[in-house]
Amino acid sequence: MTALQDAKADPASRQATTARLFVLELSGGRIHSMNADGSDHKTIVTDCRLPDGVALDVKAGHIYWTNMGVPSSNDGSIERADLDGRNRKVIIPQGGTFTPKQMQIDAEHRKLYWCDREGMRVMRSNFDGTNVETLVETGRGDADRRDQTRWCVGITIDPERRHIYWTQKGPDNGGAGRIFRANIEIPNGESAAGRSDIEVLFDDLPEPIDLELDLTHRILYWTDRGDPPRGNTVNCVPIDAKPNAPKILVSHLMEGIGIALDVAGDRMFVTDLAGSIYSANLDGTGMKSLLFGQGNLTGIAYAQV
């Protein structure tokens, strides 16, 4: 059968996809969708409670996002909607997580992963919000909560090698930020608060925030919103070799937060709290601003939809 015959036999194969960005606006409590060049900008969800992390299940046609709620209160939540914003549904109700930040999905195992900042936890659940688990617990109670070195913020997962990576940012511009790695599953006989498999990949970072992992080339990327020269940057490092000093790819951000990768297209997308959306090649070259002055932007996700 020729390619043309095959396409005619399978109408789904003729369906074109479009590269889309999904961006969270913290200040306006909104979620925006747009083409990867910033055009066709639409607001698809409103009235979010300080949205921070976003993840996509393109196959099922769903967008998931975290609501931080009031950071000093245990009222964080996670919601889901269709990719056009319809059929909105609460997955994790208020108080099911304290201050949820970046999130990721494992589509194969149908799991949501997120960091809980003031909750001082790395957490996961099923796609429908059932079976909520704490995988890492760095502290407990109000006294520990005042120690910002315990705050878990950014997260990414390696479903192939069954690892989780997360950031603990430390105080603002404190130079006490760290990036950790552990197995996804808690070792037998151990607990989320006492795991022997946690390793510190990097420490003494300005203020590391969101993480992304290029599984094809085995490279870890992250934003850092701390002070220059090492902060307000996008950084990367290979994860399978002995960790070297992080390489700064992009600088001069205005408190960089969100990051999303299009590995096949050799590009990244970054947001900052000043309201800009940037694109650049994966090596940091060719950086350009797609939109600016869009409010305080946090999470960003990329997909072919």
Domain ranges of the chain: 48-260
> What average pLDDT does this structure show over 145-168?
97
Strands (DSSP E) found in 12-83: 19-25, 30-35, 42-45, 51-57, 62-67, 76-82
Structure pTM?
0.93
Name the percent of the chain lying above pLDDT 70. 94
pLDDT exceeding 90 applies to what percent of the chain? 91
48-260, what's its fold?
A: Neuraminidase (2.120.10)
Cβ atoms within 10 Å of 111's Cβ, excluding its own: 18
Q: Which helix (H) or strand (E) holds 118?
A: none
* Dist. CA 238–CA 213, nearest whole Å: 10
**What pLDDT, on the 0 to 100 scale, is given for residue 15?**
67
**Taking residues 143-171, what's their average pLDDT?**
97
pLDDT at 245: 87
Rg (Cα) of the chain, in Å, rounded? Answer: 19
63 vs 245 pLDDT, higher one: 63
